[in-house]
Copies of this chain bind each other. A is one copy, B any other.
Amino acid sequence: MHIPGLSTVAKRASGQAISYLMQAAFQHSDCLSLAAGFVDESTLPTQLVLDATKRILTPNATGRSKLQYGTTPGVESLRDVFRSHLAVLENNPDINNLPLDRIVLTTGSQQLLCLLTQTLFDPGDICLVAAPTYFVFLSALDGMGAEIIPVPTDDNGMNPDGLESILQNLTDQGRRHRIKLVYAVSYYDNPSGISISADRRQRLVHIVQEWSSPQQPLFLLEDAAYRGLRYEGPVLPSLWSYDGAGETVILTQTFSKSFSPGLRVGFSVLPKNLVKPVCDLKGNEDFGSARFNQHLLADVLQSGSYTAHLKQVVASYEVKRNAMLAAATEFFSDIPHVHWIRPSGGLYVWMTLSPEIHTGFDSRLFEYATQTAKVIYVPGELCYPTSWNDRPRNQMRLSFGVESPANIREGMQRLACAVRHVTE
């Protein structure tokens, strides 16, 4: 539908993947959902939030201040708590000396992703991304008219050699000045489930640092949304931890997956030069996210109830991940050319079908799955830049976030049935 009078930004934002997906989910609410990025409702911490509310809202000046405006990046005492949390995560007490003005609290980490696209990208500027990657970030980049270029990615995450050769190629084309950002979901990627391997982390950061210069800064955005949801494998250091000077890596984290998405609390660490520009834009947008919610999270972090809760959440998701992987083996193993990635954490199993089986909203598979088999998934092609004509069409993001283990098995059985149906 053409709507007159809209800005270029609004025109670019129309028809984004998340809109289609939410509409599809709404239309197919009778389906088992292997699509939603929602979290497991049974884990949501009602009692902990109530207890924290009781503690923080004492009916005096201290309590009342938590319902007042804060500041655009969040009040200092709160940022201090999130900084301490980061010091524990990074196992590095020196982080407690990080200047507090480098920390910005946001409405989930999504707001930071969006603010950063606005801060860095003019139309035609370039962002380098893993492929596949998080599709709402692709939408935000599209909204700013950015050019999105995929970096070769394998089971160990973004390939450093691939990144270097793309940087070299673009430089040879005289386009270095257009490259603004490299984006990576560093832990249990959405959608691939892959973590960047330990040996690649430092090198990726160094490559970005080497290609950055004071006059043409290049940043690396580390989206650590799923960091807390680790079921097996090593505790990996963040990419940010390798950025000693703190001028290259933007680290963003959220409590949406590990605690509650309904609170929308995220925090980021920004290179010094980006603090003011990001806060200027955030000032126009909300002059500060909900302070009450930040106090809630700070309280559960300080009381220790966050850590205890996260253990339960991780245990619950691990069972569900195992259910999905077992069902994949049980129902998909003998379908030709099907393979999938075993994630060590996060919420997603990324599955690739035989090349001729397309998975998009318009595909026979999607229609049969949602209309007849009654199961819904996220078509993999949403997770590639729409400008990339060669993007794979035969993949699916399967989430074990919302359904029970029994329903996950049932959903996978239905999905395998649908794949068989369109194969024949």
| Contacts from A to B (Cβ < 8 Å) | 1, 3-10, 13-14, 16, 18-19, 22, 37-39, 41-42, 44-47, 49-50, 53-54, 57-59, 61, 63-72, 107-108, 110-111, 114, 118-122, 125, 136, 139-140, 143-144, 180, 214-217, 256, 260-264, 273, 276-277, 279-281, 283-293
Give the number of copies in the complex.
2
Whether A46 and B42, one on each chain, are in contact in the complex, defined by CB atoms closer than 8 angstroms, is: no
Most buried by B among A42, A122, A273, A283: A283
Q: Which residue of B lies closest to A1 (CB)?
A: B276
Could you tell me the distance in whole angstroms from the C-beta of A18 to the nearest C-beta in chain B?
5
* Additional 19 contacts, C-beta under 8 A, given A6-B277, A260-B292: A3-B276, A4-B217, A7-B118, A9-B119, A10-B277, A14-B277, A18-B283, A19-B276, A45-B67, A46-B67, A50-B54, A53-B53, A67-B261, A69-B262, A107-B285, A107-B289, A111-B285, A290-B290, A293-B293
Residue of B46, B47, B143, B287 touching A281 (CB-CB under 8 A): B143
* Candidate in A38, A63, A287 with the most chain B CB atoms within 10 angstroms: A287
Tell me which residues across on chain B come within 8 A of A140, comparing CB atoms: 284-285
On chain B, the residues within 8 Å of A9 by CB distance are 118-119, 122, 144, 281
Which residue in chain B gives the minimum CB-CB distance to A292? B262
Once A22-B72, A281-B10 are accepted as A-B contacts, the answer to whether A47 and B64 lie under 8 Å apart by CB is no
Sample of 19 A–B contacts (CB below 8 Å): A1-B276, A4-B214, A4-B217, A9-B118, A14-B277, A14-B280, A16-B283, A18-B72, A19-B280, A38-B68, A41-B61, A42-B64, A49-B57, A50-B53, A50-B54, A107-B289, A136-B287, A139-B283, A261-B291
* Chain B residue contacts of A276, Cβ below 8 A: 1, 3, 14, 19
CA A357 – CA B66 in complex, angstroms?
39
Q: Is the CB–CB distance between A280 and B10 below 8 Å?
A: yes
- Write out the residue numbers on chain B whose beta carbons fall within 8 Å of the beta carbon of A256: 69
Q: Taking A13-B277, A46-B57, A46-B67 as contacts, is the C-beta distance between A284 and B5 under 8 angstroms? A: no
Chain B positions within 8 Å of A8 at CB level? 122
Q: How far is the CA of A285 from the CA of B143 in the complex (A)?
A: 11
Q: Which of B1, B44, B125, B286 contacts A67 (CB 8 A)?
A: B44
Which residues of the partner chain B approach A5 to less than 8 Å between Cβ atoms?
A: 120, 180, 216-217, 273
User: Given A9-B281, A49-B292, A280-B19 in contact, is the A286-B4 Cβ separation under 8 Å?
Assistant: no
